[in-house]
Amino acid sequence: MTVTFTTSYAEYLKPETVEYIEVNCIDGEYSLGDALTFIDENSEEEFLEYYDEYIEVGEENGYEAVDAFIKLNSLNDLADFADAYIGEYQSPERMAQDYFESGTGRLDYRISIDWLETAEYLLQHDVDRVGDFYFRCSY
């Protein structure tokens, strides 16, 4: 069932969901269309339980990154987003370089590292990727 009909959602949703929408979307600061899309893609129960946190994490980090994280994990894991998120990179090599340089400080300039090979290892063992978004497997 698709409830994105902004004029008739109240006929299909539970009273507590309708009340939340009326307070937070119609009278509040959230978008009604975005809220209904979230319900369509997830469930009413997940909407009531996770939507505030989804909005907060999405506003802080970007919704594309949060949606990528949810594809790998679940809405239940949103509280761990900040610990898991490595960043958005155009190449795995750049991610691998930043992964090690930001975690250990500056690498000695005399050391030559094959960042592509390092990235391939990370992606097999320690890092997940959705598009250009990278996340730690263990967080």
What residues of the chain score a pLDDT lower than 50?
A: 3-4
Q: What is the pLDDT of residue 42?
A: 93
Q: What is the pLDDT of residue 139?
A: 82
Q: Classify residue 106 as left (phi > 0), alpha (psi -120 to 50) or beta.
A: beta
Q: What is the pLDDT of residue 7?
A: 65
Are 124 and 96 spatial neighbours (Cβ–Cβ below 8 Å)? no
**Distance (Å, whole) CA 4 – CA 2:** 6
Question: Please, what is the Cα angle at 55 between 54 and 60, to 5 degrees?
Answer: 100
Q: What is the pLDDT of residue 4?
A: 47
**Distance (Å, whole) CA 29 – CA 54:** 14
Q: What is the pLDDT of residue 5?
A: 59
136 closest CA partner among 104, 111, 99: 99
Ordered by start, the domain boundaries in the chain are 1-61, 77-139
